[in-house]
Chains A and B, each alone.
Chain A
Amino acid sequence: MTTLANSLGGYEDTRKNSYSLERFLQEPVSPTTSRYGRFGGTSPSGSMAGMGPVMGGEYRGLGGNARRPRLLLMGQKRSGKSSISSVVFHKMPPTETLFLESTTRIQKDPIHSFMDFHVWDFPGQLDFLDPTFDFDHIFGELGALIWVIDAQDEYLDPLSRLHSTIIAIQRTYPIINIEVFIHKVDGLSDEYKLDTQRDIMQRTQDELSDAGLDSVQVSYHLTSIYDHSIFEAFSKVIQKLIPQLGTLENLLNMLCLNSGIEKAFLFDVLSKIYIATDSSPVDVQSYEICSDYIDVIVDVSEIYGYDRKPATQLPGYTPGETPAADEEDTAPEASSIIRLQNGMVLYLREINKYLALICLMRKEGLEKQGLVDFNVQVFQNALTRVFEIGRS
Chain B
Amino acid sequence: MEERKGRKKKVLLMGKSGSGKSSMRSIVFSNYVAKDTRRLGATIDVEHSHVRFLGNLTLNLWDCGGQDAFMENYLSQQRDHIFKNVEVLIYVFDIESREFERDLITYSSCIEALRDNSSNALIFCLVHKMDLVQNEMRERLFLERSAVLRERSRGMDIVCYPTSIWDETLYKAWAQIVYNLIPNLPQLESHLRRFAEIAEAEEVILFERTTFLVISAVTRASEPNPFPDRFEKISNIVKQFKQSCTKMASNFTAFELRAHSFSAFIDVLTPNTYILVVMPANAAESATTLMNIAVARKHFEKLEKDSGGRVAERALDGH
Hey, which bits of chain A sit against chain B, CB under 8 A? 20-23, 28, 30, 93, 95-96, 98-99, 186-187, 226-227, 285-286, 288-289, 292-293, 295-297, 299-309, 311-314, 327, 331-332, 334-342, 344
Contact = CB atoms under 8 A, between A and B. Distances in A.
Given A95-B131, A226-B35, A295-B237, A304 B250 contact: no
Nearest to A18: B260
Given A21-B259, A297-B257, 15 more contacts: A21-B260, A93-B167, A96-B131, A303-B227, A304-B202, A308-B261, A308-B262, A309-B223, A314-B281, A314-B283, A336-B255, A337-B255, A338-B252, A338-B255, A344-B248
Top 8 closest pairs, chain A to chain B, by CB: A292-B244, A342-B250, A336-B257, A314-B282, A20-B260, A340-B250, A334-B259, A339-B254
Contacts of A340: 245, 248, 250-253
Interface string B190-227: 00000000000011000000000000000001110111
Contacts of B230: 303
A20 B259 contact: yes
Contacts, number: 133
A305 B248 contact: no
Contacts of B203: 304
Chain B interface SS verdict (over half) = mixed
A289 B248 contact: yes
B234 A303 contact: yes
B9 interface: no
A339 B36 CA distance: 26
Contacts of B245: 289, 340
Chain A interface SS verdict (over half) = mixed
A305 to B, nearest CB: 6
Contact of B264 (A300, A313, A342): A300
Interface centre among A186, A187, A311, A312 (most CB of B within 10 A): A312
Nearest to B244: A292
Contact of B225 (A292, A301, A303): A303
A300 B252 CA distance: 16
A22 B281 CA distance: 13
Nearest to A30: B135
Contacts of B38: 187
A22 B251 contact: no
B251 A95 contact: no
Nearest to A28: B226
Given A305-B262, A342-B250, A288 B244 contact: yes
B222 A309 contact: yes
Given A312-B223, A314-B282, A22 B260 contact: yes
20 contacts: A22-B260, A93-B166, A93-B167, A95-B166, A96-B131, A286-B248, A289-B244, A292-B241, A295-B240, A295-B241, A299-B237, A302-B227, A304-B203, A304-B261, A306-B261, A308-B223, A336-B256, A336-B257, A339-B255, A342-B248
Interface string B246-277: 01111111111111111010000000000000
B280 interface: yes
Contact of B258 (A295, A299, A336, A338): A336
A338 B260 contact: no
B77 interface: no
A22 B131 contact: no
A309 to B, nearest CB: 6
A302 B226 CA distance: 10
What's the interface size class on B, roughly?
A: 35 or more
Contacts of A297: 257
Given A292-B241, A312-B280, A338 B261 contact: no
Contact of B227 (A23, A28, A93, A187): A28
Interface in B75-114: none
B261 A305 contact: yes
Contacts of B127: none
Given A22-B260, A289-B245, A292-B244, A341 B250 contact: yes
A300 B233 CA distance: 9
Contacts of A186: 35
A334 B260 contact: yes
A306 B230 CA distance: 13
Interface string B280-293: 11110000000000
Nearest to B283: A314
A337 B256 contact: yes
Nearest to A339: B254
Contacts of A313: 281
A304 B259 contact: yes
Interface centre among B132, B233, B261 (most CB of A within 10 A): B261
A247 to B, nearest CB: 29
A312 B260 contact: no
B35 to A, nearest CB: 6
Contacts of A338: 252, 254-256
Contacts of A299: 233, 237
B278 interface: yes
A353 to B, nearest CB: 13
A331 B141 CA distance: 46
A308 B260 CA distance: 11
Nearest to A290: B244
Interface centre among A308, A309, A327 (most CB of B within 10 A): A308
